[in-house]
Amino acid sequence: MNWYDIIFYAFAVITVVSAVGVVFSRNILYAAFSLLFTFFGIAALYVLLTADFIAVTQILLYVGGILVLIIFGVMLTSRAFNVEVKRGFLKRIPAVFVTAALAGTLIGVLTTTRWPSVNFLPYEETARPIGVLLMTQFVLPFELASILLLVALVGAVIIARREKEKRA
Amino acid sequence: MNLHVGLTDFLIVSAILFSLGIYGVVTRKNAIMVLMGIELILNSANLNFVAFTRFGLMNLTGQVVAVFVIILAAAEAAVLLAIVLNIHQQLNTVNVDEVDKLKN
C-alpha cells in the first residue's frame, strides 16, 4: 500500500460517491453540484493515469463549460431551489435490478479477464504527441469535429431562439 | 515500484460510473437529469480509453479519442439544453414523460 494506491482509492471513492449523489439526489441543483465533484474526481484519476492534457481539458471543458451549461439549464427551466422532483423517478425497481445486473456482469468480466502486457509505462508528456497526432493521423476527424461543433452551436442558438422571434 | 492499483481498478471505477449513468438515464424524469446521466456514461468511456492508454494496451490514440469524446459531449450538451429550453417554453415542462405531444 503506497501513496499511489491511497490517492487512487481516495479519488475513486470521491468519484463514485458523488456519482451516486448525482443519480439519487432529489434536488436537481444538488445533483448538479455533485456532478462537479464527479468531474473533478475523474480529472484526478486522469492525473494518476499521467494523462495531463486530458485532465486539464476535462476541468476546462466539463467543469468550466458543460457544468455551467447544465446549471444554467436548471436555473432557466425550474425554480432553482425546492424544485419539484419529489416523484421524479420512473420504474425504479426494474431499473435497480437491470443496472445491478449490468454492473455485476461488467465487473465480473473485468476482474476475470487476463489483460495482456499490463505494464506501467514511465511518465512522458502527452500534450505535444497529442497535438502531432491531431495534425497528422487524425486530421480528418479533427476537421469533422470542428465542423460538427460549428453546426451544433449554430443549431443550438437557432433552436433556443425560435419561439422568442415568433412572439416579437 | 510495486503498484497494487492496476488497470482493473480503473476499469471497475469506470464500470460503476457507467452503471450509475445508465440508472440515471433510465429512471430520471427531468431531461436535465437525463443529460447528467449521459455525461456520466461519456466520462466512464473516457476513463476506459485513458486507462488503456496508460497501461500499454493502446498507444496515445486512446487519449486522442478521449479528446474527441469530450468535444462531442460539449456539442451534445449545448444542443440538448437548447432543445430543453425550447420544450420548456412551448410545453412548460421538462419532464420527459410528459412531453407526448406527438401521441395526440
* pLDDT tens column, B49-103: 999 888 877 788 889 999 999 999 999 999 999 988 888 888 887 888 888 878 8
* pLDDT tens column, A128-138: 999 999 999 99
pLDDT value at residue B87: 86
Whether residues A57 and A130 share a domain: the answer is no
Residues 6+ apart with CB under 8 A from B28: A23, A88, A89, A90, B34, B36, B37, B96
B69 contacts B53 by C-beta, under 8 angstroms: no
From chain A, the residues in CB contact with B25 under 8 A are none
Contact B43 A69 (CB under 8 A): no
pLDDT value at residue A79: 62
Which three cell numbers, joined as nine digits, stand for B76?
451534445
* pLDDT tens column, A22-76: 988 888 888 999 999 999 999 999 999 888 999 999 999 998 889 998 988 888 8
Whether residues A94 and A140 share a domain: the answer is no
Rounded Cα gap, residues B64 and A62, in angstroms: 17
How many structural domains is chain A composed of? 2
Q: What ipTM was reported for this prediction?
A: 0.89
Domain that holds residue A43: 1-111
Contact A23 B77 (CB under 8 A): no
The pTM of the full predicted model, rounded to 2 decimals, is 0.88
Reduced to 3 states, what is the DSSP secondary structure of residue A1? coil
A7, A8, A54: best to mutate for the B interface, most B CBs within 10 A: A54
pLDDT value at residue B11: 92
Reduced to 3 states, what is the DSSP secondary structure of residue B58? coil
Residue of A nearest to B97 (CA): A90
User: What CATH number should be reported for the domain whose range is B7-91?
Assistant: 1.10.287.3510
Whether residues A65 and A31 share a domain: the answer is yes
Diameter over CA atoms, chain A? 66
